[in-house]
Amino acid sequence: MPPPSAPASHHLRLWWRRRGRAGAVGATFAVALLAAALLLALSSYASVVFPASGGRRGPALVGLTLVRRASEKGALCLDGSAPGYHLQRGSGSGSQSWLIHLEGGGWCRNLKSCASRQRSMLGSSRYMEGQVEFTGILSDDKSQNPDFYNWNKVKIRYCDGASFSGNVKDELQNGTRFFFRGQRIWEAVMNELVVKGLRNAKQAFLTGCSAGGLATYIHCDSFRALLPKDSRVKCLADGGFFLDVEDISGRRTMQSFYSDVVRLQDLKERFPHCNSNMEVGQCFFPREVVKHIVSPVFVLNPAYDAWQVQHALAPEASDPQHSWLDCRLDISKCSSEQLEILQGFRKELHDAISEVKQKRDWGFYINSCFVHCQSLSSLTWHSPTSPRVNNKSIAEAVGDWFFDRREVKEIDCEYPCNPTCHNLVFEKPFKI
C-alpha cells in the first residue's frame, strides 16, 4: 500500500468525474486535482485539497508529536520507532470537545510486506511528515466543517499494520525484529490525550478512515470508557465496512487476506466473542465486530467502494484475462454484465449492515459513488459541490446525527442515479 498523503504523484493520476456535469465544471475539477498531484492511498486519497482562492487561507498545518517513553511502554511502530499523532487545540465553544481520527493505510499480511512497511511512514515514524494538513472533518474552517471546526482535533498516525490491534510481546520473527504493537499504540496515545484534556471532554468523536475505520469499530467502546459518563461520545467509521464476499472467480480473497493478518499478529484473542467455528479472518470483518459494540456508531460508506471493487470483488488474480481492468479503473466503463455484479456487491453491503439498521441510535450514509474515504476531503465532506443524498452533504448528515438533530439512515439509489457523485478514475489500481 503506498504511504498516505504523499506530496507528489508517483504512478497514479487521479481526478474526479462528476457524472451529469459537463464541460467547464468537469475540466475545472480535473485541472485542480492534477495540479494537486498526490499518491493515492487506501487511507487518504481523500486528503485532496484544492488551492485556496478568493483570499481564503489554506488548510492548517499541524505538527507531529511522538509518544513519550514509547519504548518503555512497548508502544512501537513496526520498526521499533515511537508512534505519533498531530494535535490541534480547540477554541471557544469547542475547547472542551474532542475529535480523534485514526489514520488508515491497509494491512500487512506477512513478514515480507511488514518489512516493506518498516521503510515507510506506514511502519516507522522516521518517515512521517513533520506537519500534515488538516482538511475535511479535521478542518478548522467553519465553511468547510461547520459542526467540528473549533474542536480539539487529533490525527493518530498508523504504523502497526493491523488497525491498531496487535499486542505481540515477542520482537523476533524469523530472526528479524518486528513490533506488532497496535493495541499498545492506541493505549499510549489515549493516555497522553487524556492528560492533555480529553478526560474533561463534554463531547468526543472517534473517527477513522479505511483501515482506521475498521480500527474505529474495534476501539469505539474502549474510547467511550475513557470519557466522563455524562459526556456525549460517538464514533464514525469512514470507508471501513469491508465485506467478506466472493470475488469474481468464486474465492474469498479478503477473508484469506484477513486470516493472514490475524494469524501474523495473533489477533484471535482480540475478538473473544467471535464464533470458534468461524475462519479466523472472519472475526476481523466489521459485520462481526459491530455485533458487540454498545456505543453509537455512524457508518459512512460508498456502495461501490473503489478499493473493495479492485481488491475484494475483482482482484487482479481473479481476472487473468484482464476483462475487468477498465471497469476497476473507471466505473463508467463497466459493461452491463459487470454493473449487474456491482449491484450485487451493493446488495451485499446492505445485507451486511442489517445489524446496524436495527440499532436505534446508530446512523449510516451509503451513497452510490465510486470512491473510498470521503471525510478527509473538503470536496467530498462539505462544499457547494459535495455528494448529496436527500439533499444533505456528508458533513450535514453526520452533524445532524451526532447532535441528535434528526435520525440519519440514508441509503442512496443505484448507480448511476446520483449526479452529485465525484467518481474516481484511476490510471492504475490501488496498491494492496
Catalytic residues: 210, 305, 372
Rg of the Cα atoms in the chain: 20
- Which of 166, 184, 160, 139 minimizes the C-alpha distance to 48? 139
DSSP letter, residue 392 = B
> Is residue 106 a contact partner of residue 432, using CB atoms and an 8 Å limit?
yes
Query: Half-sphere exposure of residue 63, counting CA atoms within 13 Å on the CB side?
Result: 3
Q: Which residues pair with 88 in a beta bridge?
A: 153
Cell of 406: 434528526
Between CA 293 and CA 358 the distance in angstroms is 13
Between CA 299 and CA 210 the distance in angstroms is 12
What is the SS3 assignment for 78-135?
CCCCCCEEEEECCCHHHCCEEEEEECCCCCCCCHHHHHHHCCCCCCCHHHCCCEEEEC
- Which of 152, 157, 182 minimizes the C-alpha distance to 87? 152
